[in-house]
Amino acid sequence: MRRLELAFLLLAASPFAFTLGPYPEVGWLLVCLGLALLYPYARSLAEYCIAGVRLHDWEVGEWKLLRELPGKRYEVAAVLEVVTTSGTLESVEPLKYALVAKDLVEFLASAEPTILIHRGEDGLHYYLVLRAEGRSLEEAEEGLKTKVNILRRSLFTYNLELHPRRPRVLFETLGVREKRYAWREWLAAVVLACLSALLLYYLPLIGLFASGVATPTCIALVRARLGGERRYVVAGRWWMVESPEAVRFTRSEVYHYTLRVSKHMTSRASVGTSVLLRLRPATLREQTRLEKRAAWRYVMATAFDWLGTTVRAMREMERLQRRFSDIPEALFWCSLLTSNEAVKADLDVLGFSTIRAFTPYPVVQALFGWSGRLLERPLEGLFYTLDLAFFTPYVVRRFMFKGGVYFGLNEDGDEVYV
C-alpha cells in the first residue's frame, strides 16, 4: 500500500477508534502514525509553494560538478550525452533488439548513472550523469575518467558515442527558474505560523504537526530572502514508478513498445518533457530475498486458502524466473520518473504502477544525488533488465545536421537539412 494512502486510511480510522473502542489511546496512536506518514508530503508541498525548492549541494564548474562528502571524501560528477552515429532502432531486427537492449542496459547500469532523456526544441537528447568518489579530488577524478572510458568503449560497439556537456544543461532540461518572492509568500508564511500557534494551544498534537511543517518552511524563506540561499521553481508535473508488475515481455513486445515510447518522446507534443532514471545493480541477496518472500506468501496463501494471494504469489514466482529465461536478465535498483503523459500512459499499459509526485523534490534528489529524509523522496524499486529496455539510447534518432540546405520537415515535425 502506498505511504500516502496508508496515512489517510489511518487518519480516517482514528475517529472510529475514539468513539467505538474502549481504549481511546488506540485512536491517538492511529493519528500519530498517520501524521508521521503524511509529514514528508506536507512539508515538501509547503516548502516548495512558499520558499521554493533547493536544487543541490554541488559546486558547479565549467565541465564538472564537485562536492565534499562526510568523512573527508570527495565526489566528482560529469554530464555526457549519448549520440547515435549510425545505429538506430529501425536498423535493428525486431527479434534481436531485446538482446541489444539487454547489453545496453547492463553496460549503462554498471556505471551507476543517472539517465535524463529530454525532448528539447532541437530534438531528443540522452544525457548521462556519472559520479565517482575518492579520498581526494585527484582520486575521484581518476575514478570518473576510468568509468567514462570503460563505458565509451562498451557503447562504441553499438555505434554510440559519448560527448561531454556542460552541467548547465541539467538546469535547462528541468525548466528551472529562480524563485521570486512577493507579498503572497510572506503572507502565506505568516498565516501558516499563526495557524500552527493556534493549533498548539487548542489541539497540541495537530499543532505539533503544523509547527513541524511551518518552522522549516519559514526558515527556508528567511534564508532564501535574507541569507542569500538560492531557491528555484521546477516546471512540469512528474509521475514516479512505484513498482514493475509485468511477469515477462516477449521479444516483439520489447521492440514495438520501445518504438512506441520513441515516437511519443520525439513528437513535437513532447517538447519540454523528460524521463529520468537512476540505476544501480542489485545484489544476489536481493534476488534471494524476493524468492523467499514469494515462497512464504505462497505457503501462507495455500494454508489459509486465500485464492487472490495464491495467484499473486504464483505471478511473483513466475516473474522471478526471468533470471533463467532465454534472455537471462539481471536485477537492478531503479528510480523511474517522467513528466511526459504519453510515456506515463505507456508505462501503465506495460504493467508499471505509477503515482503522481506532489512536488519536484523526488526529481531533484534523483538527478543531483542528495537525500532529504524529511522531504518527499523518489521511489526506488527492483527492476529486471527488460523492464528498462524501453529507455535505451536507441530511442534517440540518428544525429541530423542543424544547418545547410533546408529539405523540409520529418514525420516528427523537425526541420531537416542536407
User: Side-chain half-sphere of 370: how many Cα atoms within 13 Å?
Assistant: 17
Report the pLDDT value the prediction gives residue 319, as an integer from 0 to 100: 86
Report the pLDDT value the prediction gives residue 180, as an integer from 0 to 100: 86
Handedness of CA 237, 88, 277, 1 (dihedral sign): positive
Q: What is the mean pLDDT of residues 11-38?
A: 84
Q: What is the pTM of this model?
A: 0.89
**216 is written with which cell numbers?**
522549516
Report the pLDDT value the prediction gives residue 416, as an integer from 0 to 100: 61
Non-local (6+) Cβ contacts of 280 within 8 A are 109, 112, 332, 333, 334
Q: Classify 357 as helix, strand or coil.
A: coil
Lowest mean per-residue pLDDT among 21-35, 321-335, 378-392: 21-35
Report the pLDDT value the prediction gives residue 291, as an integer from 0 to 100: 85
Non-local (6+) Cβ contacts of 378 within 8 A are 240, 278, 335, 337, 362, 363, 365, 366
Report the pLDDT value the prediction gives residue 408, as an integer from 0 to 100: 65
Give the Cα separation of 255 and 249 in Å (integer): 10
User: pLDDT-based confidence at 217, cuts 50/70/90?
Assistant: very high
Handedness of CA 105, 111, 114, 119 (dihedral sign): negative
Query: Tens digits of per-residue pLDDT, 159-199?
Result: 888 999 999 999 889 888 888 888 888 999 999 999 999 99
pLDDT of residue 264 exceeding 80, the answer is yes
Report the pLDDT value the prediction gives residue 304, as an integer from 0 to 100: 79
pLDDT of residue 401 exceeding 60, the answer is no
**322 is written with which cell numbers?**
526471468
* Residue 401 burial class via C-beta count within 10 angstroms: exposed 0-12, middle 13-18, buried 19 and up: exposed
pLDDT of residue 40 exceeding 70, the answer is yes
Give residue 282's Cα distance to chain centre: 17
In the chain, what percentage of residues exceed pLDDT 70?
Answer: 94
Give the Cα separation of 394 and 113 in Å (integer): 17
User: pLDDT-based confidence at 372, cuts 50/70/90?
Assistant: confident
Give the Cα separation of 330 and 101 in Å (integer): 12
Query: Tens digits of per-residue pLDDT, 244-255?
Result: 888 888 899 999
Q: Classify 378 as helix, strand or coil.
A: coil
pLDDT of residue 407 exceeding 80, the answer is no
User: pLDDT-based confidence at 409, cuts 50/70/90?
Assistant: low
pLDDT of residue 121 exceeding 60, the answer is yes
